[in-house]
Structure 1
């Protein structure tokens, strides 16, 4: 047998295979994005970048903030320039629709490689469904204020990263208040007196979106000082307290009082968010029962507006525990069923950069949880003033069950439609009772 020529042939063949394999790993000449550098922003030490696919990858990003699309489109373009093999397909849904329909879209991983979640009931439902990838230990977490992203933790794991810091306090027209010699009151009697003066001046005291977001927003400041403990709604869901207890009946009674005295606009229950906002923007209403997230929209619609935040104090002077309400929301997450988890994490890492978070904040009018961001607009500075006040995390989002949360807000609508506070509370409690685990 001619062994030496055969061995020589095998050696040449193996060498050829090795060369071809090395060429194949380069992706056939496709360029890959460079690893992250010092441009990640202060406080962020990038981990070794996971290998990006040589082939172009498209990740889906879904959220409810349609008003942020212009800013996020610009940010996505910057991301894609740095990561040319990752394309981001952004989709938005109205907030109410997002809360009820997002989970179904996320189930098979084809939509929402990166998605957002509300805290509270939606976060709990998505966690129970196992749809959050664990982000614990991700280097980009160091870019965030640790305390402010705690609402994204569950069972010791960082499942989501809240991006926005919102103050869920009503907005008031500063110039109208100054013209009438009014200042934010310190107790319930003062708040009623304020509303009466506004009404007497021919203004709508409070623009209230009773048909959609109003009950869920305004309830937070209305109940914050009425509740006997910060975890009262947790106790309600555990069967240790009831909505028929004094704290909620009193809150419903105060809603009824505002409505009966004509301090909401006519047909408040039929008024949606945009219409309520328009009343305030057109200076027909002096107060808008929403939150800091709407400051920028109001200013855009009416550049002459001067706005600040005001929370009704529903107790006697000196008895208030809290001055207002805050929420960390727009919780960024990676879908556990995503086929491109590393690319999804790269996008969240990009959003966590101080410069990018600053762009998002100043373009959208949303305060953020990223550290050391500089705010340039007066509206963001107004919200930032509240960082030194004593605020409570949004009570509504302490309700873990979505049906219970709906029962609570529906009881407000029931009172405004004419039902007694006691009967409305009783009906809401009956729904909660159905969900209490025996």
Structure 2
């Protein structure tokens, strides 16, 4: 897609398949088949982070200057739509020469569909922290490279905590007392997006010290453990306790991400049940906001195994159906350079998995401080089946809606059992 000057116009899609179709039609087809004058190759970069478009546009301009025969066309979709439609869009290679994947269920589904190109042995892998890109491996192959390092721990307002003499608690009783202090002073303890991202984010720190092993959800999906066991019923019981005591805002179940974030940014809530990925966005909306991360400890201090949760996500990959795989790999290699990864990190407020990157914002330094803490890879993303993952998060929504924890766990387990019977 080019303007009169010949300069390619990049676009951000935020409204679904019709918008995508319209834009592609206007461009005369998908990125993989497009080419400019003089033998230029156009590759398509498909992902869900619309908020990164401005930063990535600058990086792409520099890449194209360094590689004048390669043009990069970028498309984005909302994250929920990306999870449900990406596989279909990637299947014929017409879009997404380079694409992003979530870890867990989406990564597993795309791997089974054969969408990933094996990147094993690529020299640019040496730029990454080897431990942090393990989530992109399957059967001994590096199928995708996680680019972002996220801490899925609630964010808290440092100044509000200081005002009321609060510090991150070391046990469950301390967390309840902290919430009560905030409530007693007219502050919503936890802004919770129960209608969309909240259950999937908050479950991670709530279950991290309750679960009997790191692979418990893998055991559930294999029929070796159940959601009706004590560890998950306890987790649901504690989430229900927070809701019943009024520690979430009214109608938490009907609150979407933007509304929950607004409560925190406006300093009406002391904590936001999201993660480090939202620090920069909050700071942009309220530059006076001082933020840090904490994780609810659901057990006694002596029983706690983990201080928080991390995820290596925004997993970059090359489409196995791409008509320009070498050019796609060249773009991925460029993104892997520490100076480029640093430019991306500091412009977007996202920590990265590339070694040797210097962070220059307070928000990135907040997350960087967590690299020395004992954290667990996000439990939700160890659930490989998308239907099972949804059943787990639905059980949280069920207790917010008034269901007993045991009943909600039984309903979720029924979905697991049904999927097990099909395998």
TM-score (norm 1): 0.87
Paired position in structure 1 for 2:276 = 292
Partner of 2:39, secondary structure, is: coil
Taking the TM superposition and a 5 Å limit, the aligned residue runs for 1:255-404 are 255-404=239-388
Q: CA deviation at 1:54?
A: 6.2
Q: Distance in 2 between matches of 1:64 and 1:251?
A: 30
Q: Distance in 2 between matches of 1:205 and 1:403?
A: 31
Paired position in structure 1 for 2:228 = 244
- Deviations for 1:386-437, whole angstroms, at most 9, x for unmatched residues? 0000000000000000000000000000010011100000000000011115
Match of 2:194 among 210, 230, 246: 210
Q: CA deviation at 1:269?
A: 1.0
The reply on whether 1:125 has 2:109 as its aligned counterpart is: yes
Partner of 2:73, secondary structure, is: strand
- Deviations for 1:62-121, whole angstroms, at most 9, x for unmatched residues? 111111111001101111111111111111111111111100100110010000000000
Q: Distance in 1 between matches of 2:210 and 2:127?
A: 36
The reply on whether 1:229 has 2:213 as its aligned counterpart is: yes
Unaligned runs of 5+ in 1: 1-52
Taking the TM superposition and a 5 Å limit, the aligned residue runs for 1:27-176 are 55-176=39-160
Q: Distance in 1 between matches of 2:218 and 2:150?
A: 22
Q: Distance in 2 between matches of 1:101 and 1:417?
A: 29
The structure with the larger Rg is 1
TM-score (norm 2): 0.90
Q: CA RMSD in A?
A: 1.1
List 4+ stretches of structure 1 deviating above 4 A.
none
Paired position in structure 2 for 1:35 = none
Q: Distance in 1 between matches of 2:385 and 2:70?
A: 36
Q: Distance in 2 between matches of 1:397 and 1:317?
A: 26
Q: CA deviation at 1:359?
A: 0.4
Q: Distance in 2 between matches of 1:135 and 1:283?
A: 45
Q: CA deviation at 1:318?
A: 1.1
Unaligned runs of 5+ in 2: 1-36
Alpha-carbon distance change, 88 to 110 in structure 1, aligned in 2, over 3 angstroms: same
Q: Distance in 1 between matches of 2:124 and 2:66?
A: 17
Partner of 2:302, secondary structure, is: coil
Q: CA deviation at 1:317?
A: 2.0
Q: Distance in 2 between matches of 1:411 and 1:101?
A: 24
